[in-house]
């Protein structure tokens, strides 16, 4: 079973989408298997991160902005703005797909784990995500 959904972002940051993925797994009827989550973009990514303390997400955002700062004068891919190439770099060093076990018909996530779309661009976007349960 494959389902798609869209995450509307307000700019750079982590946007939780665990609920949609969990519902898709339950609706799939798969008891034991694998859930693959895939984002169809090159300037946003997916991560599994703590979903209890928002300071984790703020710290991750601050870290990745230091890793690949906007406006680096060495970048040649700048037509779409000073945040475009850094967004591609951020996406390259994170993940565009996640594999999560399905156990007893549910996502096999830990207690504090959530699934997030990580928007790497400054402006709002609509990010398309696919969920495949087998």
Domain segments of the chain as ranges: 2-133
Return the half-sphere exposure (C-beta side, CA atoms, 13 A cut-off) of residue 33: 13
Return the pLDDT at 10: 98
Q: What are the E-state strand segments in the chain?
A: 2-8, 13-16, 33-39, 44-50, 97-103, 106-107, 113-119, 126-133
Return the pLDDT at 1: 93
Return the pLDDT at 95: 96
The pTM (predicted TM-score) of the whole model is: 0.96
Return the pLDDT at 23: 98
Return the pLDDT at 11: 98
Fold for the domain defined by 2-133: Jelly Rolls (2.60.120)
3-class secondary-structure state, position 118: strand
Residue 91 contacts residue 42 (beta carbons within 8 Å): yes
Each residue's pLDDT, cut to its tens digit, for the chain (134 residues) gives: 999 999 999 999 999 999 999 999 999 999 999 999 999 999 999 999 999 999 999 999 999 999 999 999 999 999 999 999 999 999 999 999 999 999 999 999 999 999 999 999 999 999 999 999 99
């Amino acid at each position: 079973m494959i389902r798609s959904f869209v995450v509307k972002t307000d700019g750079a940051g982590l946007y939780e989408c665990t609920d949609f993925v969990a519902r898709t797994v339950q609706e799939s009827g798969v008891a034991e298997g694998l859930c693959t989550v895939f984002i169809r973009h090159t300037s946003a990514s997916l991560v599994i991160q703590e979903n209890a303390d928002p300071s984790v997400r703020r710290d991750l955002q601050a870290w990745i902005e230091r890793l690949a700062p906007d406006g680096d004068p060495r970048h040649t891919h700048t037509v779409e703005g000073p945040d475009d190439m850094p967004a591609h770099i951020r996406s390259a060093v994170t993940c565009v797909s996640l594999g999560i076990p399905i156990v007893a018909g549910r996502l096999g996530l830990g207690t504090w784990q959530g699934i997030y779309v990580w928007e790497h661009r400054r402006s709002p976007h609509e990010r398309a995500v696919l969920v495949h349960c087998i």
